[in-house]
Amino acid sequence: MSMNRFLYCSLLFFAVACTKKDTLFEKHTSSQTNITFANTLSESPEFNVLKYGYFYNGGGVAAADFNNDGLVDLYFTGNLKANKLYLNKGKFTFDDITEKAGVAAADGWNTGVSVVDINADGWLDIYVCRSAASDVRLRRNLLFINNKDLTFTEKAADYGLDDPAYSTQAAFFDYDRDGDLDCFLLNHSVQEFAGFSRMISDFKQQANSNYSSKLYQNQNGKFVDVSASAGMVSNVLSFGLAVAVTDFNNDGWLDFYVSNDYNENDYLYINQQNGRFNEVVRDAMGHTSLYSMGSDAADVNNDGRMDLLTLDMLPERNERIKLTSGDDNYDKYTQLLRSGFHHQTMRNMLQLNVGAEGGGRRAEGRGQRAGGKGLTKANERLGVNSPTPLPYAPSPMPPAPTPLFSEIGQLAGISNTDWSWAGLFADFDNDGWKDLFITNGYARDYTNMEFLKFTMDEQLKARQTGKLATSLDPMAVIAKMPTINEPNFVYRNQAGDPQSGVPAGQLTFANETKTWGLDEPTQSNGAVYADLDNDGDLDLVINNVNAEAGIYENLTNEKESNHYLSLQLKSPNPAQLMGTRATLWAGGRMQVQEFMPVRGFQSAMYGPLLFGLGKATAADSILIRWADGKTQFTNLKQTGQPGAGFVTITYAPTPERPQSIPPKPYWQATDGLPWTHQQEVANDFKIQPLLPYMLSPTGPCFAVGDANGDGRDDLFAGGGRGQGGQLFLSGTSGFSPMPQPALLTDRACADAGADWLDVDGDKDLDLVVSSAGYELAADDPRLQVRLYLNDGKGHLTKTNFPNVRVSASCVRSADVDGDGDRDLFVGARVVPGRYPETPVSHLLLNDGKGHFTDKPSPILAQLGMVTDAAFVDLVPDGGQPELIVATDFGPVQAFSCQGGKLLPLKNLLPSTTGCWNRLLVQDLNNDGKPDIIAANAGLNSQLQATADRPLTLYSIKNTAGSLLPVLAGYDRNNPADKQLYPFNARDEILDQVVSLRRKFTDYTSYSKATIADLFEPDELKRAQKLEAASLQSGVFMNGGGKTPSFTWQPLPIEAQMAPVYALAAVDVNHDGLPDLLVGGNREYNRVRLGKDDANRGQLFLNQGKGHFAYVPMAASGLVWDGDVRDFATVNVAGRTDLLVGASGQSVRGFTLAR
């Protein structure tokens, strides 16, 4: 060896040694572990990814102690390769015992693996799912019974589990609480039903037992298909790729979630405690993943509710996104909705469980209803006491509560992980907070736009030459498919990091893939975590395609000072283990885990529950809720049991602990108003195809005032186009509608803003209403601002008003010229059809008799796209109030009113541009000075913005004179890259700028293109450029003094889950400080962006100094969904009521209950 080579090798060794020292995980090679399994796949003309779409979905892995020696063994499933069973010999060495054990299953295409003690003999058995084969015999699933001597006997047929469907995975659990294990078998359909078709609605009604998933009930040791009677959905569109079993609604009974690929909805099955399930995904979730793949259920924020992760295929890097993005087909999307499909978007989803709605069940499984006729016999056989079962029959009980979820994957930072398979929540650094591991990669990327263009071109050539497209050489087509070799992802839960600046309980994750040593590019599928060396931290095992399995040792306990508790649960009846919930308290914090082996993708882990304790040296107590609903509480300190290390708890239920009665919620739901807002939705993308979201849906607006002079709060509710507004008069028992012919006459207008004011000095309140209509012409009479005079008894008559036609967001009144009457400001939201061109807002001066004069000025023409405004006395100068204006892609700015004119107050408010939606002026700290709450677009989006990397919007005029709203941002994966990249896909841009087709002839060139590459310098110079440097909602706190000074304070992260459009302040806890109610959401976005719907009802308690604390749904009492656009707080019969107006919905009502 030369000296140079010696030095090179020495440096290489040093670099590797440093890497090992600095990373959390260390990879062990097959030469160390003896694990040589590789799921090697090779295609042929007869069998390939074109013939079987799931050819490269890969295999699974199971981690379990199959010989009861205290060490976790490993079992891998192969597709074209035999399965392998490796016996753990300690110190990360394993023996291949496959041949002796008899579990190779080499004659078929193996998919998912489950671990279960199916015969309750104390030895773990293996269930293997199969698919792909056209021969039914080779598709039958396998059950390997443990013979207790490291050999297994296949007995699936004996148990009724040799199902011949195209199976992905099986989950065993006692869904009916009859004391034995039942089975949910996850199956998938075939390629014929994978695409979009005019027949798709008909396909929803077609069933095939080989394609649909099934629920098997254990009837005296034999598994019987009860899918139909249990309420399972059955159709040929279901492509089941994962199942997550957990108790979603905290009623003590196991529910489950099914991830479906392609067009079909995912399924959320809620256990009705009577042998049946209700499928409630539409009610529980505003949207789901589109191509749902792997999943996991876990309590990610330690609040005691089980959250859900589903994985999809959205890439992280800008270049990859562009290579896989076609046209944003909103018409197809809406057609699917009309055909009965749910809202679905292609990205990972983190569904945060925010509470449950409806149902009359008692929580935590105390409403004891047994389900099966074998309960007593099964438990007698196992020596377990259990109550006598009730007859197995449909129950008259009310429906079980439906869990409600807020989807926050983008807020959490885990939405974009490319072609993802297994998602696993686990505490990898033992800090007490669950982290997230995701496998990634695919051998044949048939979503790549270059490949799709190639196949379309080849098919066109075939048609032109008279050949059939099927005559194309399949291997030549496959060779054109690129391979996705990407690193897997691992995310650290930032709530456990004191250096992150994230308060405990927050919901964000940091990408630690490189720093934790998992950045090797692979094609990974099934994966498990397990403590392979019994050192108190979780190692990783990964099943790779065309590469050896990955074995990664976790070095946490060598590097960190965190503590742990490894909890082994034991019961003579394995049915009492599946779904058992363990709640642990340590260091003043609660953690929850459930024992459920099947997780991620095609994989299972059967072993102890490992709790990281962080800096707490020991846990204080543990509450076990066994799968049969019984509980067992252990005070570790009082009993002297170890609170750290390895702990075993054996089934021995204790008397149920008294439950503290929670205080009643702050708000209680009422009947609301007998009125439903009508939303007429036009497809704005037909007008401007590059819009980020539609602008024509505006939703209801409210205005509160005493319309009939009786001293009570009355309400005007602004209607949608074709509906007309409605006046409600308040009486002793609530609101009643008052007919208003004048309002009905103007029903062609879509009401956008309203205000009560005495315009003519007759001591009653008149009504002014502004209109909106992005889809209309700019001078359409339906955009006219309208004034209605009041006769003092609430009867309104339309009167003359200046010709002000504008698509408005608001109308606000104040005395701006100091003459003693109220004048008007009309905020212009958008120039119809020309977003983001600056519209002209209006200031109208009142002569005191109800006659208004429009006072145009350059400032009013330059305000920007006004979304809200408020008059408030900010400067204590004794003069006229100031005007605060919020704008889209602009700042919140302040103006003084002098002599009927607006003058900018520079530097009064911190200069922060955003996509502002709403303002609320309120003295939040009782210092006598007004503060400003400003509602923004939120952080739960693909669109991101920071002060140094703002979201940018260009207004570019094309050759036809139309305006192109071109969104641009930075590559989220490369902080050093300062280039602006277009948000839109190639086809979307090139359809609008045809000349670019010569420049970007393929998708690869466009995937690297910056905004500067798309447009010439003079085009960008002429273009209007708008920026949003912050998307957080928050508070401008008034520091007071003769010259006000404001500081910016973001609201808690829960307020950043969705765009905010509605704000209200009410002191709900009577501490003298106004608390904050927040509403919003936005449905009509681009398909790629998907629905914003995470705001399910939000209350924040005022902590003083601009700080607020989120109140969970159960304590707030607030529950809503949809696009909430306005609140009204009213005094009705001496109580405080909240009215919630959402687009296209009835007005919800809540009354302050404390």
C-alpha–C-alpha distance, residues 877 and 534, integer Å: 72
Contact 824, 808 (CB under 8 A): no
- Average of per-residue pLDDT across 734-739: 95
Going by pLDDT thresholds of 50, 70 and 90, the confidence category of residue 958 is confident
- 1059-1067 mean pLDDT: 99
Confidence check: pLDDT of 250 > 60: yes
Mean local confidence (pLDDT), 815-841: 97
Helix, strand, coil % over all residues of the chain, rounded to 5: 15, 35, 50
pLDDT confidence bin for 503, thresholds 50/70/90: low
In the chain, what percentage of residues exceed pLDDT 90? 83
Label residue 536 by pLDDT band (50, 70, 90): very high
What is the per-residue pLDDT for 646?
A: 96
Q: Are residues 1039 and 910 in the same domain?
A: yes
Identify which of 352-361, 419-428, 965-974 has the greatest average pLDDT.
Answer: 419-428
Q: Would residue 535 count as lying in a domain?
A: no
Strand order in the sheet with 152-154: 109-116, 125-131, 142-146, 152-154
Domain finish residue from 1012, 1027, 1042? 1027
Q: How far apart are CA 79 and CA 363, in angstroms?
A: 43
* Residue 956: DSSP 8-state: E
Asked if residue 967 lies in contact with residue 956, where contact means CB atoms within 8 angstroms, the answer is no
Q: What is the mean pLDDT of residues 670-699?
A: 95
DSSP string, 830-891: E-TT-TTSPPPPEEEEE-SSS-EEE---TTTTTS-EEEEEEEE--S-SSSPPEEEEEEEEEE
Q: Domain of 877: which CATH number? A: 2.130.10.10
DSSP-derived secondary structure for 512-526? -TTTTT---EE-EEE
Q: Which residue has the higher pLDDT, 854 or 391?
A: 854
Asked if 313 and 266 touch (Cβ cutoff 8 Å), the reply is no
The arithmetic mean of pLDDT across residues 930-957, rounded, is: 97
Task: Look at residue 602 in the predicted model and tell me its pLDDT.
Answer: 99
Residues 1062, 1126 within the same domain: yes
Residues 1094 and 1054 in one domain: yes
Which residues are bridge partners to 740 per DSSP?
none
Lowest mean pLDDT among 377-391, 477-491, 1068-1082, 1132-1146: 377-391
The predicted pLDDT at position 379 comes to: 38
Measure the CA–CA gap between 1097 and 1105, rounded to whole angstroms: 24
Per-residue model confidence (pLDDT) at position 733: 84
Q: Is 849 found in the same domain as 988? A: no
Residue 471 has a pLDDT of 61
Do 940 and 978 reside in the same domain of the chain? no
For 841-875, the pLDDT digits (tens) are 999 999 999 999 999 999 999 999 999 999 999 98
1111 located within any domain: yes
Residue 445 lies in a domain: no
**What's the confidence (pLDDT) of residue 81?**
97
For residue 626, pLDDT over 80 is answered with yes
For residue 639, pLDDT over 60 is answered with yes
370: pLDDT strictly greater than 60: no
Whether 461 has a pLDDT exceeding 80, the answer reads no
702 Cβ contact list (under 8 Å, min separation 6): 715, 716, 717, 718, 754, 1126, 1127, 1128, 1139, 1141
What is the arrangement of strands in the sheet containing 796-799, beginning at the earlier edge strand?
Answer: 750-757, 766-772, 786-790, 796-799
Phi, psi of 1149 (to 5 degrees): -130, 145
pLDDT in tens, 101-134: 999 999 999 999 999 999 999 999 999 999 999 9
Residue 279 lies in a domain: no
| 321 belongs to a structural domain | no
Q: How far apart are CA 1037 and CA 1034, in angstroms?
A: 9
Boundary-marking domain end, from 1008, 1027, 1046: 1027
| CA 307 to mean position of chain CA atoms | 10
User: Number of structural domains, the chain?
Assistant: 2
Nearest to 756 by CA among 728, 720, 790: 790
Q: Does 899 map to a domain?
A: yes
**Angle ∠(745,749,751) on CA atoms, nearest 5:** 110
Is residue 940 domain-shared with residue 955, that is, in the same domain?
A: no
What residue numbers bound the domain in which 854 lies? 667-944+1029-1152
Residue 928 lies in a domain: yes
User: Are 1050 and 1017 in a shared domain?
Assistant: no
Is the predicted pLDDT of residue 469 greater than 60, yes or no?
no
- φ/ψ of 114, rounded to 5, equals -125, 150
What pLDDT digit, counting tens, does each position of 1102-1134 carry? Answer: 999 999 999 999 999 999 999 999 999 999 888
3-state secondary structure 191-225: HHHCCCCCCHHHHCCCCCCCCCCEEEEEECCEEEE
Average pLDDT (42-57) is: 94
Indicate whether 923 and 960 sit together in one domain.
Answer: no
Residue 377: predicted pLDDT? 34
Domain co-membership, 688 together with 785: yes
Residue 532 has pLDDT above 80, yes or no: yes
**What is the C-alpha to C-alpha distance for residues 529 and 539, in angstroms, rounded to an integer?**
5
Specify the pLDDT at position 206: 92
Average pLDDT of 736-764?
98
Which tens digit of pLDDT belongs to each residue from 640-671? 888 899 999 999 999 988 878 889 999 999 99
Residue 197 reports pLDDT greater than 90: no
The answer on 1131 and 1014 residing in a single domain is: no
Average pLDDT, integer, range 485-495: 96
Strand 240-246's sheet: what is its strand order? 240-246, 255-260, 267-271, 277-279
What pLDDT is attached to residue 353? 98
- Whether the predicted pLDDT of 389 surpasses 50: no
DSSP state of 684: G
pLDDT at 393 over 50: no
pTM over 0.85: yes
Assigned domain for 338 exists: no
Q: How far apart are CA 216 and CA 230, in angstroms?
A: 10
Reading the block at residue 385, the tokens are 């006491």
Query: What pLDDT score was predicted for residue 21?
Result: 55
**pLDDT higher than 60, residue 396:** no
pLDDT of the residue at 190: 94
Instruction: Work out the pLDDT band at 380, boundaries 50, 70, 90.
Output: very low
CA–CA distance, 345 with 1088 (Å, rounded to integer): 7
Residue recorded with tokens 């110190």: 91
Contacts of 114 by beta carbon, 8 Å cutoff, 6+ apart: 62, 126, 127, 129, 169, 170, 171, 172, 597, 598, 604
Name the residue with tokens 């974009």: 416
User: Residue 540 has what pLDDT?
Assistant: 99
Shared-domain flag, residues 957 and 1058: no
- Assess whether 694 and 818 both reside in one domain: yes
Which sign does the torsion angle of CA 968, 969, 971, 973 carry?
A: negative
* Domain boundary, last residue among 1001, 1027, 1053: 1027
Confidence of residue 472 (pLDDT cuts 50, 70, 90): confident
Kindly tell me if the per-residue pLDDT of 731 is higher than 50: yes
Residue-wise pLDDT tens digits, 970-1020: 998 888 899 999 999 999 999 999 999 999 999 999 999 999 999 999 999
Q: Give the closest residue to 677 by CA, choosing from 726, 742, 728, 745.
A: 726
Q: What is the pLDDT of residue 397?
A: 59
- Measured CA to CA, the distance from residue 301 to residue 824 in angstroms comes to 47
Mean pLDDT score of the chain, rounded to an integer? 92
